[in-house]
Amino acid sequence: MPNDRESRKARSNSSSSDNPREEPDAAETSAEYSSEMQLQATWILDEIIKMTPRNDVRLGYMMALREQLETDEAMMGEAQKVIAEFEEAYNKLTAPANRIGVYLGAVEPDVKARPKFRLGRPSAAEPESTTVRIALGEQEYITNVDPKLDALNLKVGTQVKVNEAFAVVGDLGYAPGGPIVKINDVLADGRLRVSMDAQGVQSRVVYRGEGLLSVNLKSGSEVRMEPNFKVALEYFEAKESGDYYLEEVPVLPWNRIGGQEEAIGVIKDAIELPLLHPELFTRFGKRPLKGILLYGPPGCGKTLIGKATAYNLTREYRERTGNDVKEYFMYINGPKILNMWLGESERMVREIFAQARDKSREGHLVFIFIDEAESLLRTRSSGRWMNISNTIVPQFCAEMDGLVALENVVVMLTSNRPDYIDPAILRPERIDRKVKVVRPDRKASRDIYKIYLGDVPLDPTLVREHKGNCSGALDELLDLITEYTFRREDETEFLEVYLKNAGTETLHWRDLLSGALIKSVVERSKDFAIKRSIEKMSDVEGISLEDLQRAVKVEFKENEIFPKGDSIEDWLKLLDYDPENVATIKPITARRAVTETRRNII
């Protein structure tokens, strides 16, 4: 027996010395020992039962003991199973957490400089084990890869699982989320310089993921970064230009613009001729115009003329040259570009012109249409305080000067107050033509009424009076409503202008008429006709002269909103009066109210 114990002890010592890292757990050793003892006890009892005679009264006690041993053995097995599950859960909960890093690429094996000699001859140098470069936060490490992983399948930008020794033990794939940044510049070696803030003040050079190696990235494009901000993973097309600048050009022929023949003629001569007849301009050494300004009162068709220019110019260019070109109308609202962050508005101006150049090279006719230009290109201030116009105007001038060698690009500005626009913008060689969009006269007003009433159902009574001739009924309706709008009566008096030379001028409805107001009159008359159709439950009702007259009265009544004394100059500019010649203006409604009060007192 001592010899057996010594031999078991010797075997145990030898096994522990051979595998010092695989020492069994104490609980595991105890469980194995108990199980072994249980088996020995059952075996011994079975041997005793075999040797005991069948008629021995002690045999029953032995059988009961054996049954109890089997029960204890089963309970011991269940207990061992529970203990094993507990230990497994305990080990998981107490195990150190794995770090998540980002894979930056493999490190080329370093061939050892000192040669080895085998049997007196130099042997081939042995490369070092596979090492890779990873990043955890801002820190980068060169570490080993678990042999179970195939390092060749790791891609730049994927997340990897790192153990306590900073060895890569798992591939987690690409991160599903991350910050989206804008590209400032693409370096020659493929790396990207991206902005870390919306203003572009802080920037950073990052790696390009394998999924972006074949993508043609440009400045201004957006990419998604992995959480460590080391590698760009996903490309997003720059949609800002499409969301903020572009607008679909509607089908808008010149005959849909009423009362602006003079302005349309100037635009055709200034913009259409250089694009449609470039050989003549080359022969005479005449350069195309770079820009045009449309100014005038609000609602008189400046924006409408800009859209019609894009549509008609492209159509005529396509018909005369045979080239299949498409218009690219960049509708830019001045206040949209203004940004509180320093340099952001200038960046947007650069992007607008850069996009115009790209589209022009692709064969588009590009129209840069800037509405409310006085809000964006306001006269620069010479004061000590910083003004956003002090930086936007020079940037815009520099981009306009860059259009010298650029073809098929037209810059159009619109403004209600051209006197607020910086003179550097309006000088020749930048904005070459200034076209005033005036208020419609009697003939122009009739044309505008005809445009909006041409496809509208007319009053059946009026049609019957012309024996079913809708054209004749429409002509009579146009003559009557135009005469009604342009009459000079006490009812149509709107404003009184007191001049500094002691003169007084009275403005009537027709002096404040605009295309937008005429359109609103027609729309309001449609409301009256629709309500009448509902009340009469009739589907043959149409617009009558009474509907239009009522709409005119209501429209001017709702527009009796007059400025306070400190903003009279703005109103005088819209009324085509020079502020230096006007003392004040007063609404007619105020005078009527005073007269009515005096009558009541009397």
CATH number, residue 234: 2.40.50.140
Residue 566: what are its φ and ψ, rounded to 5°?
A: -80, -5
Residue 467 and residue 391 in one domain: no
- Rounded CA gap, 234 and 215, in Å? 10
Residue 406: what are its φ and ψ, rounded to 5°?
A: -105, 130
Which among 200, 219, 238 is the end of a domain?
A: 238
Q: Does residue 17 lie in a domain region?
A: no
- Rounded CA gap, 415 and 334, in Å? 10
Confidence band of 484 (pLDDT split at 50, 70, 90): very high
At residue 100's C-alpha, the angle toward residues 95 and 105, to 5°, is 135
Q: Which range has the worst mean pLDDT, 117-121, 316-320, 336-340, 586-590?
A: 117-121
Residue 343 and residue 483 in one domain: no
Mean pLDDT along residues 268-278: 76
Residue 581 and residue 533 in one domain: yes
Please state the pTM of the whole predicted model. 0.61
Residue 226 and residue 371 in one domain: no
Q: What is the pLDDT of residues 225-254, one digit of tens each?
A: 998 889 999 988 755 455 445 556 678 888
Instruction: Provide the token pair at 310.
Output: 């894009």
Residue 356 and residue 484 in one domain: no
pLDDT of residue 35: 56
Q: Which residues pair with 410 in a beta bridge?
A: 367
Domain total in the chain: 5
Q: What percent of the chain has pLDDT over 70?
A: 79
Q: What is the pLDDT of residues 36-69, one digit of tens each?
A: 665 677 788 788 888 888 888 888 888 888 888 8
Which among 410, 436, 462 is the end of a domain?
A: 436
Instruction: Provide the token pair at 106.
Output: 């493999």
- Rounded CA gap, 227 and 101, in Å? 9
Length of the chain: 602
Instruction: Give the residue from 245, 321, 308 showing the smallest Cα distance to 278.
Output: 321
Residue 259 and residue 310 in one domain: yes
pLDDT of residue 30: 55
What is the CATH classification number for the domain harbouring 377?
3.40.50.300
Structural domain that includes position 376: 244-436
- Rounded CA gap, 415 and 434, in Å? 11
Count of other CB atoms within 10 angstroms of residue 348: 20
Q: Does residue 11 lie in a domain region?
A: no
pLDDT of residue 575: 72
Q: Does residue 584 lie in a domain region?
A: yes
Cβ-based neighbours of 357, under 8 Å, separated by 6 or more = 406, 409
Q: What is the pLDDT of residues 360-405, one digit of tens each?
A: 777 777 888 888 888 888 887 754 445 666 778 888 888 887 654 5
Is the model more confident about 267 or about 402? 267
Cβ-based neighbours of 413, under 8 Å, separated by 6 or more = 291, 292, 293, 294, 370, 373, 377, 421, 425, 431
Residue 265 and residue 347 in one domain: yes
Q: Does residue 20 lie in a domain region?
A: no
What is the residue type of 13? Answer: N
Indicate whether 338 pLDDT > 90: no
Residue 255 and residue 234 in one domain: no
Tokens 């020992």 map to which residue?
A: 33
pLDDT of residue 526: 92
CA distances (Å), 47 to each of 44, 66, 547, in order?
A: 5, 11, 120
Indicate whether 4 pLDDT > 70: no
Is the model more confident about 402 or about 350? 350
Q: Does residue 518 lie in a domain region?
A: yes
pLDDT of residue 32: 57
Residue 148 and residue 196 in one domain: no
Count of other CB atoms within 10 angstroms of residue 418: 20
Residue 288 and residue 413 in one domain: yes
- Rounded CA gap, 289 and 429, in Å? 8
Handedness of CA 196, 202, 208, 214 (dihedral sign): positive
Count of other CB atoms within 10 angstroms of residue 347: 20
Q: Residue 275, class by beta-carbon neighbours within 10 Å (0-12 exposed, 13-18 middle, 19+ buried)?
A: buried
Confidence band of 560 (pLDDT split at 50, 70, 90): low
Which among 376, 405, 436 is the end of a domain?
A: 436
User: Is 159 in contact with 107 (CB distance < 8 Å)?
Assistant: no
Q: What is the pLDDT of residues 286-315, one digit of tens each?
A: 877 778 899 888 888 888 888 888 788 777
> 573-580: long-range contacts at Cβ-Cβ below 8 A with a sequence spacing of 24 or more?
573/416, 573/417, 573/419, 574/297, 574/298, 574/416, 575/297, 575/495, 575/497, 575/507, 575/511, 575/512, 576/297, 577/497, 580/500
Q: Does residue 4 lie in a domain region?
A: no
Is the model more confident about 32 or about 601? 32
pLDDT of residue 239: 54
The DSSP code for 271 is: I
Q: Residue 379, class by beta-carbon neighbours within 10 Å (0-12 exposed, 13-18 middle, 19+ buried)?
A: middle
Cβ-based neighbours of 123, under 8 Å, separated by 6 or more = 115, 116, 117
pLDDT of residue 5: 44
- Rounded CA gap, 509 and 560, in Å? 11
Residue 359 and residue 418 in one domain: yes
Indicate whether 562 pLDDT > 70: no
Mean pLDDT along residues 196-216: 81
Q: Which range has the worst mean pLDDT, 90-104, 114-128, 358-372?
A: 114-128
Q: Does residue 116 lie in a domain region?
A: no
Instruction: Give the residue from 22, 523, 461, 448 showing the smallest Cα distance to 257.
Output: 448
Indicate whether 24 pLDDT > 80: no
Instruction: Provide the token pair at 420.
Output: 């607020």
Mean pLDDT along residues 473-497: 89
- Per the prediction, the chain carries an average pLDDT of 78
Q: Does residue 544 lie in a domain region?
A: yes
Residue 198 and residue 261 in one domain: no
Q: What is the pLDDT of residues 440-474, one digit of tens each?
A: 889 989 999 999 998 889 988 888 888 888 888 99
Instruction: Provide the token pair at 185.
Output: 């510049």
Q: What is the pLDDT of residues 160-174, one digit of tens each?
A: 999 888 899 989 989
User: Is 156 in contact with 148 (CB distance < 8 Å)?
Assistant: no
